[in-house]
């Protein structure tokens, strides 16, 4: 198998270029159909995320596509020049390509190591390629092995257990200590920052659906509310929204607190002692720190969350050697199985090739010895079988050993020439 990956990621390539190259689901399907027309004998899977664009290809014979052809294909989907993107692309081939895919699927190559979204994205990309029939038996085996490696890392290490993004720590690490469920909670989002919206995404994943969005720019609040199936609330109704809220995410660009202790005192009387979780993501802070001293008020700022993120990241780093060892094991296992399957036809031809002369010589001998009993004849047959197996054992054993080490191609070619085997 000739496997390679050509692509770019957040490690070396600026966001501006990744944005130009990335494709949506419909565009990916169209690209894969175009690939099949141009390279009908080459399997392909196209992985596009916000942090990477990678083209995985596999073929039975070497030669296609070259990195330049892959760059031309990726650039052509966006009417770019191949020369513009080629310097920013990396290429991994054979074992390095397998190890790279396994590392990506296991989330060791992610911007946030251990994040869980990439495995779903790898799986979705593979399924799209399967639906478009651009992924054949070679990439089927490769991606199935990658998913197996990812399952092992998830099951045998604690890499995914420690949340390391501000949003995931806020909801999974802090809000979960206060609320057992979110589907019955009123969530108020103040502002429209990227981090605040990401936190809202986590809350929606946890089941929250009663969402009020407040922004000084009311049309902006309306756009965000439409995107998240929430309700836009005017800035003048901030106090009323806080009075009924269970969980608040705030990230405005205000230079002064938008809620002071005095203002919150009036809001607090309308809450009747119900607990309130406030996630203040603004710099400077939107809520006065003094508000967090009030009973049943749980106020967290960015510093609180980032310290938890740093601790969790350190815990994840301690899990990296175990995860990397699993990737090495699964890479060796996959390549060994793959090369062993590739050696199968050679082994079968060797056995078949030796079977005919053995039978011819056996029959010639038995024909000359017609007086032998059936028992003697059977003993001679077994002797011929044992001799053939002993003669075949060294080359077959060497081929099996080399195949598991991934170095069987040279030996297979030598055996094919020595024994005049067909392709």
Annotated catalytic residues are 50
| Alpha-carbon 69 to chain mean position | 25
Spatial contact of 53 and 22, defined as CB atoms under 8 Å apart = yes
List the Cα angle 146/15/96 in 5-degree steps.
30
d(CA 74, CA 67): 10
| Of residues 176, 106, 202, 194, the one with CA closest to residue 146 | 106
Spatial contact of 18 and 10, defined as CB atoms under 8 Å apart = yes
CA end-to-end distance (rounded Å), the chain: 15
d(CA 415, CA 409): 10
Alpha helices in 260-419 (DSSP H): 261-269, 302-368, 374-404, 408-418
d(CA 418, CA 169): 63
Spatial contact of 101 and 52, defined as CB atoms under 8 Å apart = no
What is the helix (H) or strand (E) element at residue 241, kind and residue range?
A: helix 238-244
What residues pair up with 91 in beta bridges, in sequence order? 6
């Amino acid at each position: 198998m000739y496997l390679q990956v050509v692509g770019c990621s957040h490690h070396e390539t600026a966001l501006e270029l990744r944005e130009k190259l990335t494709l949506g689901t419909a565009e990916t399907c169209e690209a894969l159909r175009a690939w099949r027309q141009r390279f009908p004998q080459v399997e392909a899977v196209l992985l596009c995320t916000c942090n990477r664009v990678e083209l995985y290809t596999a073929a039975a014979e070497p030669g296609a596509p070259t990195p330049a052809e892959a760059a031309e294909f990726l650039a052509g989907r966006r009417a770019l020049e191949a020369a513009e993107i080629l310097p920013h692309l990396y290429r991994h081939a054979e074992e390095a390509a397998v190890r790279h895919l396994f590392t990506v699927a296991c989330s060791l190559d992610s911007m946030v190591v251990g994040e869980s979204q990439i495995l779903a994205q790898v799986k979705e990309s593979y399924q799209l390629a399967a639906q478009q029939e651009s992924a054949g038996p070679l990439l089927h085996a490769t991606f199935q092995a990658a998913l197996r490696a990812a399952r092992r890392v998830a099951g045998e290490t604690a890499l995914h257990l420690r949340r390391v993004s501000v949003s995931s720590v806020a909801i999974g690490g802090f809000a979960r200590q206060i609320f057992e469920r979110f589907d019955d909670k009123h969530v108020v989002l103040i502002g429209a920052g990227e981090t605040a919206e990401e936190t809202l995404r986590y809350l929606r994943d946890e089941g929250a659906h009663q969402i009020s969005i407040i922004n000084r720019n009311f049309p902006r609040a309306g756009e965000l509310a439409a995107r998240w199936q929430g309700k836009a609330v005017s800035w003048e109704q901030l106090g009323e929204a806080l009075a009924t809220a269970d969980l608040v995410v705030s990230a405005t660009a205000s230079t002064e607190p938008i809620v002071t202790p005095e203002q919150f005192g009036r809001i607090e009387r309308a809450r009747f002692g119900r607990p309130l979780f406030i996630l203040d993501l603004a710099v400077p802070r939107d809520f006065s720190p003094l508000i967090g001293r009030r009973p049943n008020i749980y106020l967290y700022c960015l510093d609180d969350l980032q310290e938890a993120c740093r601790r969790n990241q350190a815990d994840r780093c301690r899990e990296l050697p175990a995860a990397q060892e699993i990737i090495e094991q699964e890479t060796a296992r996959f390549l060994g199985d793959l090369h062993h399957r590739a050696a199968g036809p050679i082994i079968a031809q060797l056995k078949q090739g030796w079977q005919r002369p053995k039978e011819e010589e056996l029959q010639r001998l038995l024909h000359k010895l017609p007086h032998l009993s059936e028992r003697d004849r059977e003993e001679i047959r077994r002797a011929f079988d044992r001799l053939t197996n002993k003669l075949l054992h060294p080359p077959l054993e060497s081929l099996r050993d080399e195949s598991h080490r991934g170095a069987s191609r040279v030996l297979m070619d030598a055996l094919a020439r020595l024994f005049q085997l067909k392709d």
